[in-house]
Amino acid sequence: MARYESMFQTLAEKNEGAFVPFVTIGDPNLETSERIIETLIANGADALELGLPFSDPVADGPVIQAANFRALDAKVTIAQSFELLARIRERHPELPIGLLVYCNLVHAKGIHSFFARCAEVGVDSVLIADVPIREAGLYRSAAQAVGVQSVYICPPDASQTLRNKVAEMSEGYVYLLSRAGVTGADQELQTPAAEAIDELKAANSAPPLLGFGISQPQHVKAALENGAKGAISGSAVVKIVAEQLHDEPAMLAALGEFIKTMKAATKQ
């Protein structure tokens, strides 16, 4: 059984939703980043969504853009990022790990090489933020060839046609946006109508996880009440890193508390 499928099954048996934090690998440096990721796991993350550092993260707001720049300033490479992923996988064999990347990174050493490396280090899924689903076939085929799942974004205002396409193609989970635009925790959360989630389910989609603007426990509860199977929180997590850059113990303590609180909100 694939790791996402196993996770959702286990959570359903416990009547819980999934809480999935996002951070950028290498922020603020490689060593601290690894300790951050271990802290997320130790305090209740059900899965991880991780970004590879990139110089032009167009789908992200200022908080996550800054995280990318900190990682690049620390000279963190893609090769080092994959090595870190391999270490995380070795320590946590059952944990679903997803990557959120940009197209240029996939092409840097060739599409097939990229997905082969993902498979080698135990990455479960890849979401390419700047490739629309109508252009995704080549990437999805390369991913499927090595057993990596492809995740796609479903905008809140998606047409029925697009929603059905996402339901057909997205594997592991569907990244359901709470609103249009770029990532950010300061934006007001807009939970999509339960009908949108119902339509995804009617189309036999993978379980939807709600993302964008998830920064408080009530956002997680609202996502679950509307039928999502969990929530992804990125900017709110990365903001804690940014606020405590010069005090790692305080940073890790604050991250631990945030993850515990958000995970507690998934218990229905």
Catalytic residues: 49, 60
Q: H-type helices in 108-234, by residue range?
A: 111-121, 137-145, 160-169, 194-202, 217-225
d(CA 99, CA 112): 16
The two structure tokens encoding residue 161: 């046609």
Identity of residue 131: V
Radius of gyration of the chain (CA): 17
Rounded Cα–Cα distance for residues 224 and 11 (Å): 12
Structure tokens that stand for 265 in this block: 């909100």
In the three-class reduction of DSSP (H, G, I as helix; E, B as strand; rest coil), residue 20 is classed as strand
- Distance CA(161)–CA(166), nearest Å, equals 9
Contact assessment for residue 236 and residue 215, using Cβ atoms and an 8 Å cutoff: yes
